[in-house]
Amino acid sequence: MKFSISKTAFQEALQVVQGVVSLRSTLPILSNVLIKADKKHLTLTTTDLDVSMRCNVDATIKSSGATSLPVRRLLSIVRELPEGNVDVEVDDKNAATIKAGAAFFKIMGLSEDEFPPSPTVEGGTAHGMAQASLRDMFRKTSYAVSTDETRRVLNGVHLSFRGDKLTMVATDGRRLALVEHAIDVPDKSEKDMIIPSKAVKELVHVLKDEGDAQLHVLDKQVAVECANVLMVCKLIEGNYPNFRQVVPSQCEERVTVERESLLVALRRVSLLTTDKANSVRLTFAKNKIEISTVTPDVGEAREAIPIKYSGKQISVAFNPEYVMDPLRNMDDDEIFFELVDDLSPGVIKCASPFVYVLMPMRIS
Amino acid sequence: MTIGNRDDRQLPHTIMSRTIMHLDMDAFYAAIEQLDNPELVGKPVIVGASPDKRGVVATASYEARAFGVHSAMPSRTAGRLCPNGVFVPVRMSRYAEVSGQLMDVLESFTPLVEKISVDEAFMDVTGVLHLWKDALSLARAIKDRIRAELKLTGSIGVAPNKFLAKLSSDMDKPDGLTVAPTIEKEIIAFLAPLPVGRLWGVGGKTNERLNSLGIHTVEHIQQRPMEELRTILGERMAAHLSALAHGRDERSVETGNEEKSISNEMTYGEDCRDPARVRETLLRLAEKVSHRLRRSGKLATTAQIKLRFSDFRTITRQLPLQPATDNDRSLLNAAVELFEKENVREPIRLVGFGVSNLSRPGQARDEEQQLLFPALDSDLQDEKDTKLDHALDEIRERFGTGSVGRAGGKGRNR
């Protein structure tokens, strides 16, 4: 196998696929990227056996063939190469020589036969939507995914294709983020699924501002195709908790807040929280939200944000990170904050179909 | 703990003169063993590890003390000093039971009882003194009740503060009763001949340092000018020791003063070279500690392991527990995490596990994140864990601590 490729294109393609590779893989082959040279392009594939990522990239193929090379090493080399073309030649023992300008490298690979077979993407239903929209939905939900590995079903983003929309939900049991997007779902293709958060993270990197993505929904896996990239991943099996029941249907008091002001105020006040006293108090009072924290032996902090409010005074304690998470991942200038009483969940909304439900902290 | 950081907690009654008693039971463990087994009465009883094993003496009866045996002495040494000594193993649960009865007796005299250990307590009797002829007759009544109800003896010190009370109870052991002087001049004379190490807070290091500077007795402290003490000891320690040396101690009797830490440790018969076995021992100890922690009704926020190597080098490693817990699984995990982080390859002589920073659930600023799906798997898991822990506790209480354990602690990882 022998090909020539622009350094920039090679680096970008490797960057797309390298994220999937596990740092602590037990099988050496899983640290490698499968490289196939055929006609006018290269196909790069990586997998951790749950998620596989494939990227096509144009190249000048001098002789076709396939091999697998350690992806991190390869990327670190390509990253440092001078601009221009990179010439790669792989011999029948899977040793690859890489030449660019005056630089020469030889790295050892493994036979393509050792690489796990690529999953087949056949059947199922395909949904098309703009890459930017899909990425935005992931961005607005994925931070709420649980990292507690004992709660498998919460370790991913839940997608529900129903009626005329796609509903995406993530929760760790303390807060829940839900976002909806209008999409045409034929009756027969109604489907719920949980995409593992690792795959979501990779997708957020891969999805671009322009162009469409296709979601191929299969029985136990999902494939997302966008431009030159195809990601296939196994779905998390199990029953997702009934999230609809925890989204409050009505609220007592709603205020409109400048997102950025709220975010910076929270960031400042939370400086005085500690591991043991990790809460800030949000108090809705006449024409202001006061954010405050008092930490024994540490100190206190307070900041008020002007709002239009004349309802009853409500004061709720939250983990500040959980309030900041959605604010960081929204683009709206103004958001809506809804409270019921001192011990009920708080809700953050915005002009678009997005709901964030946050359970308070009980302080005794 | 110094007087300094307690100042903010001074209660009004500390201003007026107080009457504090300190009770120290006589050879408590050994006395209970003699009580439970009349054959041991009059014999040198040594409670602790047997003399052919490594380990130490927990308590020796006065008969054994005559041979020079004392607590914390290696059992081997004790066996040599007292060849006819009757060695009996420690039965902590029995002592704890008697201790409970003892505290009940004390609390029938005054509610202000501060339990320091199973066999030691302070009582603030200031408020109940008017019911008695004087402090001496009250102290006698307490001793009589203990003898009548528990068939045990203890020594009481009566004084205007805790420090002097504790010193006094030690003056006339066993079965003693000492009333410390109350007039300042007499107090100073009373304290003057005592070695400086008797002052609260003077441990090995400070003692050495003081001795090297010619300070051997409390009198030396009394006589040194304050400035000099400050340069030697620093502001706080100087103030603290000077106050004690003059018999001043403002600490109140704290009824809520409960155990601050719980730990268990084990010395191997032969240094253990197998990390898997040490890990297993550690899990056992963690289970015991966890059991004791739950019995105390408290939650811990710090876990600690202790490892002693063949050369007696000892290390301790701590881990914060977030949130505070009394859960077996959390403590066991902490023990394993701490141990595995050490990656020990050397032979181990002693291994220990403990928890500290104990709090009552709901104490201090307790934050609890509310949950969206309280019934979800992990929460259920915690509940299951709690139920399992309590079930295990019950079994252990009925059939002994070794009767049941987690699979990870016994069979695996060999």
Interface test with B, best of A178, A361, A362, A364 (most B CBs within 10 A): A364
Q: Measure the CA–CA gap between B84 and B104, rounded to whole angstroms.
A: 36
**What residues of A are in contact with residue B373 (Cβ under 8 Å)?**
171, 173, 241, 246
Q: Measure the CA–CA gap between A39 and A28, rounded to whole angstroms.
A: 29
User: Is residue B266 domain-resident?
Assistant: yes
Q: Measure the CA–CA gap between B244 and B254, rounded to whole angstroms.
A: 19
Is B269 found in the same domain as B234? no
Flag if B365 and A175 touch (Cβ within 8 Å).
no
pLDDT at B399: 67
Q: What is the value of pTM for the model shown?
A: 0.54
3-state secondary structure of A67: strand
User: Is residue B408 domain-resident?
Assistant: no
One-letter amino acid at B49 equals: A
User: Is residue B355 domain-resident?
Assistant: yes
Q: Is A148 on the interface with B (CB under 8 A)?
A: yes
Reported as half-sphere exposure (CB side, CA atoms, 13 A), residue A257 has a value of 29
Is B148 found in the same domain as B23? yes
User: Is residue B413 domain-resident?
Assistant: no
- Total number of domains constituting chain B: 3
Is B102 found in the same domain as B36? yes
pLDDT band at B414 (very low <50, low <70, confident <90, very high): very low
C-alpha separations of B77 from A6, B46, B57 in Å:
81, 12, 9
Residue A190 reports pLDDT greater than 90: no
Q: Measure the CA–CA gap between B77 and B68, rounded to whole angstroms.
A: 10
Q: Which residues pair with A356 in a beta bridge?
A: A177, A348
Once rounded to an integer, what is the mean pLDDT over residues B21-31?
95
Is B219 found in the same domain as B201? yes
User: Is residue B405 domain-resident?
Assistant: no
What is the residue range of B282's domain?
261-399
Q: Which of B73, B55, B54, B32 is nearest to B45 (CA)?
A: B32
Once rounded to an integer, what is the mean pLDDT over residues A95-103?
95
pLDDT band at B344 (very low <50, low <70, confident <90, very high): confident
Q: What is the pLDDT of residues B178-232, one digit of tens each?
A: 999 988 889 999 999 999 988 887 877 788 888 888 899 999 999 988 888 888 8
Is B45 found in the same domain as B177? yes
**The total number of residues written for chain A in this structure:** 364
User: Is residue B251 domain-resident?
Assistant: no
CATH of the domain at B315: 3.30.1490.100
pLDDT at B397: 66
pLDDT at A22: 80
User: Is residue B224 domain-resident?
Assistant: yes
CATH of the domain at B150: 3.30.70.270
CATH of the domain at B219: 1.10.150.20
User: Is residue B406 domain-resident?
Assistant: no
pLDDT band at B7 (very low <50, low <70, confident <90, very high): very low
* Residue-wise burial string across B219-240, b where 16 or more C-beta atoms lie within 10 A, e elsewhere: bbbeebeeeebbebbeeebbbb
Once rounded to an integer, what is the mean pLDDT over residues A249-263?
88
Q: Measure the CA–CA gap between B196 and B216, rounded to whole angstroms.
A: 6
Q: Which residues pair with A108 in a beta bridge?
A: A95
Higher pLDDT, B396 or B293: B293
Nearest-neighbour CA in chain B from A316: distance (Å): 12
Is B217 found in the same domain as B95? no
pLDDT at B409: 46
Is B200 found in the same domain as B343? no
Residue B406 reports pLDDT greater than 80: no
Once rounded to an integer, what is the mean pLDDT over residues B355-364?
67
Q: Which listed residue (B114, B120, B280, B287) is catalytic?
A: B120
Flag if B376 and A151 touch (Cβ within 8 Å).
yes
**How high does pLDDT run on average in chain A?**
92
Residue of A nearest to B373 (CA): A173
Q: Is A346 on the interface with B (CB under 8 A)?
A: no
**What residues of A are in contact with residue B320 (Cβ under 8 Å)?**
275
Is B389 found in the same domain as B273? yes
Least confident range of A172-181, A252-261, B401-410? B401-410
pLDDT at A132: 95
Once rounded to an integer, what is the mean pLDDT over residues B146-175?
93
Instruction: Calculate ∠ Cα B381-B384-B389, nearest 5°.
Output: 125
Query: Alpha-carbon Rg of chain A, whole angstroms?
Result: 24
Is B330 found in the same domain as B269? yes
3-state secondary structure of A281: strand
Residue B1 reports pLDDT greater than 50: no
Q: Using CB atoms, pick whichever of A148, A276, A359 lies closest to residue B378.
A: A148
Flag if A173 and B376 touch (Cβ within 8 Å).
yes
Q: Which of A350, A156, A358 is nearest to A246 (CA)?
A: A358
pLDDT at A151: 82
The percent of residues in chain A predicted with pLDDT above 70, rounded, is 100
**With helix as H, strand as E and coil as C, how does chain B read?**
CCCHHHHHHCCHHHCCCCCEEEEEECCHHHHHHHHHCHHHCCCCEEEECCCCCCCEEEEECHHHHCCCCCCCCEHHHHHHHCCCCEEECCCHHHHHHHHHHHHHHHHCCCCCEEEEECCEEEEECHHHHHHCCCHHHHHHHHHHHHHHHHCCCEEEEEECCHHHHHHHHCCCCCCCEEECCCCHHHHHHHHCCCEHHHCCCCCHHHHHHHHHCCCCEHHHHHHCCHHHHHHHHCHHHHHHHHHHHCCCCCCCCCCCCCCCEEEEEEEEEEEECCHHHHHHHHHHHHHHHHHHHHHHCCEEEEEEEEEEECCCCEEEEEEEEEEEECCHHHHHHHHHHHHHHHCCCCCEEEEEEEEEEEECCCCCCCEEECCCCCCCHHHHHHHHHHHHHHHHHHHHHHHCCCCCCCHHHHCCCC
Is B127 found in the same domain as B152? yes
**What residues of B are in contact with residue A299 (Cβ under 8 Å)?**
none
Is B196 found in the same domain as B178? no
**How high does pLDDT run on average in chain B?**
83
Is B323 found in the same domain as B239? no
Residue B266 reports pLDDT greater than 50: yes
Domains (range + CATH), chain A: 2-114 (3.10.150.10), 125-245 (3.10.150.10), 247-358 (3.10.150.10)
Once rounded to an integer, what is the mean pLDDT over residues A88-116?
95
Q: What is the pLDDT of residues A60-97, one digit of tens each?
A: 999 999 999 999 999 999 999 999 999 999 999 999 99
Once rounded to an integer, what is the mean pLDDT over residues A339-350?
90
pLDDT band at B373 (very low <50, low <70, confident <90, very high): confident
Say which DSSP state A331 is in: -
Q: Are strands B177-179 and B113-117 parallel, antiparallel or unpaired?
A: unpaired
ipTM: 0.80
Specify whether B120 is catalytic.
Answer: yes
Q: Measure the CA–CA gap between A314 and A309, rounded to whole angstroms.
A: 11
Q: Is A27 on the interface with B (CB under 8 A)?
A: no
The last residue of one of the domains, among B183, B204, B223, is B183
pLDDT band at A9 (very low <50, low <70, confident <90, very high): very high
C-alpha separations of B144 from A101, A180, A217, B41, B108 in Å:
99, 79, 84, 20, 13
pLDDT at B167: 92
C-alpha separations of A26 from A21, A116, B80, B158, B400 in Å:
11, 14, 57, 70, 43
**What residues of A are in contact with residue B370 (Cβ under 8 Å)?**
174, 343, 345, 359-362
Q: Which of B394, B381, B313 is nearest to B346 (CA)?
A: B313
